[in-house]
Amino acid sequence: MQRPLNIADRLRTSAEIVPHQRAVVFPEGRDREQRVAYTQLTFAQLDHEADCIARGLISMGVQPRDRLAMFVPPSLESIALTFGVFRSGAVCTMIDPGMGRANVFRCLDQCDPSGFIAIPIVQFIRRLKFRRFGSARFNIVAGSKKRRFGCPSYSDLVRIGASVSNGLPQTSSTDQAAIIFTSGSTGPPKGVSYEHGMFDSQVDLIRERFSIQPGEVDLPGFPLFALFNIAMQVTTVIPDMDPTRPADVDPVKILEAINNNGVTQAFGSPALWNTVGRYCQEHGIRLPKLRRILSAGAPVPNHVLRRMTEALPDATDIFTPYGATECLPVAAIGGRQVLSDTAEQTANGAGTCVGTVFDQMHVRIVEVSFDPIENIADATECAPGRIGEIVVKGPVATREYFRRSEATALAKINDGDGFWHRMGDTGYLDDDNRLWFCGRKAHIVFTPDSTMFSVRCEAIFNQHHHVYRCALVGIGERGSQTPVIVAEPESGHFPASEAEAAQLRDELLALGAANVLTKSISQILFHRSLPVDTRHNVKINREALADWASHR
């Protein structure tokens, strides 16, 4: 139901309740003793800057629904700019630069931005490509104190906004707030259209499920989570890391930020916690101040859960929310429950338990289809325990892909006045109504004799102590594919000779032969580093891997 709402109203509320609490903390550099020097904005200061930005944009001529492409690394500026764009009524367009130059340009062509809020190098490229981006009239250069490339700076924008008193538009809950592009891990990146009401619901669902309290301090390894913090009166400590390369994070800097700022919550991809967890285990480090860790982007391996829970107090857990850019959150489970209740089943091929469904969210399992489903009555629901396609309904499910009507038709199912979102994943509900994830629908391997689900099969081979991770790929046409396991050995255990390769291959084949799910697999290949997505550095690019394997 439509109602007056702007997600930036949450910042206004936070500024009224806790004006002097730190809202954002940024590691600006180090002093002569190599101590970290931090800059910060209180909630009152952040609200003031966001207000000035919104008024400055409107003074430039920005109208509601104008699309502004954001290319600003995590910083005090980036958060103020994001809320300022929301408050102006414009649409904040977020494209992950880590997805590669070609994909970035495809995304920009698709959304045709009205302007760029970007660092100098991006503005320089925009000027070079002026014919391509002729609609981009409203441009701000971030990360510079001076006007450059004909663009006012961040400081200019704030100063302009502070000098005017123009009114701010009233947006509604169903108005578009942002376009956030998918990572492109299973196809070309698609722009997901977010409404103000969807962001608002995300904040409430996450806060209530994990009992997040005002005044907490969060370290978000994924920039978008900082927006939720501001809305929950939680201080954001921006980590000293490249957000596009979480697997390469320096664990010393992460732990330093946690200890320096009394961090109570931290969010990051499984790749980040794999690195941090290994470091904590090797050095006997514990994290007594943390109340919770959140990890999302892909299933979190049990060895990551084990290392991180060992570093946490007994009352603290690492939670693994399940969802997607198009619909987040859907379900969640704690790492301690996984290790005690479901890890053994996962290792034997049951899939990954992603927990119970969030309040207000609804999940169904329907027969797998690769065609559009017009109405939910046309979908066949699976019995409990039977694997099918996961479809989700609720207030955080996005309605459409921006200017991608065919993709929208494939992903949405009508249900009266509402709709269901097809997650693109396979799974099932168990007798306790917990959701289990069995792999992406696009990664099912259809052999002449069986249907093989990636996550279930890979878990069998991941039990080998010299295997870091592996991927199931299918070679050939659907229905007559040959299943192949591509294994990435642990560091220092890649076969150095044909004899070592043959021994490891035989050991893996023996593991596979002992399980009914994988006994038909007879092809094992070794890869030094499996290709992964650019956003979380953990989703295996099985499409690229299948092409690689087919040439082996």
Average pLDDT (212-235) is 95
Could you list the beta-strand ranges (E) of 343-387. 352-357, 362-366
CA of 125: how far to CAs of 68, 98, 486, in Å? Answer: 16, 16, 39
Residue 305 has pLDDT above 80, yes or no: yes
- Which CATH fold would you assign to the domain 9-15+36-195? Rossmann fold (3.40.50)
* Spatial distance between the Cα atoms of 221 and 282, rounded to a whole number of angstroms: 22
Domain ranges for the chain:
9-15+36-195, 444-550
Q: Which of 385, 526, 534 is nearest to 469 (CA)?
A: 526
Task: Report pLDDT digits (tens) over 342-388.
Answer: 999 999 999 999 999 999 999 999 999 999 999 999 999 999 999 99
- DSSP structure class, residue 387: -
Decide whether 9-15+36-195 matches 444-550 in CATH topology: no
Q: Is the pLDDT of residue 47 over 80?
A: yes
pLDDT computed for residue 144 by the predictor: 81
Nearest of 214, 263, 216, 213 to residue 238 by alpha carbon = 263
**pLDDT (0 to 100) of residue 222:** 87
CATH number of 444-550: 3.30.300.30
Residue 257 buriedness (CB in 10 A; 0-12 / 13-18 / 19+): buried
For residue 268, give both structure tokens. Answer: 């990051």
Mean pLDDT, rounded, for 415-425: 97
CA distance 212 to 3: 26
pTM for the model stands at 0.95
Q: Which amino acid is at 509?
A: L
Q: How many residues does the chain have?
A: 552
| pLDDT band at residue 297 using 50, 70 and 90 as cut-offs | confident
pLDDT number for residue 489: 97
Measured CA distances, 25 to 38, 76, 141, 143, 235 (Å): 6, 7, 22, 17, 8
| Confidence at 534, pLDDT banded by 50, 70, 90 | confident
Rounded-to-integer distance, Cα 73 and Cα 71, Å: 7
Q: What is the pLDDT of residue 536?
A: 79
Cα distance between residue 199 and residue 5, in whole Å: 10
Q: What percentage of the chain exceeds 90 in pLDDT?
A: 91
Asked whether the predicted pLDDT for residue 188 surpasses 90, the reply is: no
State the Cα–Cα distance between residues 30 and 293, nearest whole angstrom. Answer: 27
* 261-274 exposure pattern, b = at least 16 Cβ within 10 A, e = fewer: bebbbbbbbbbbbb
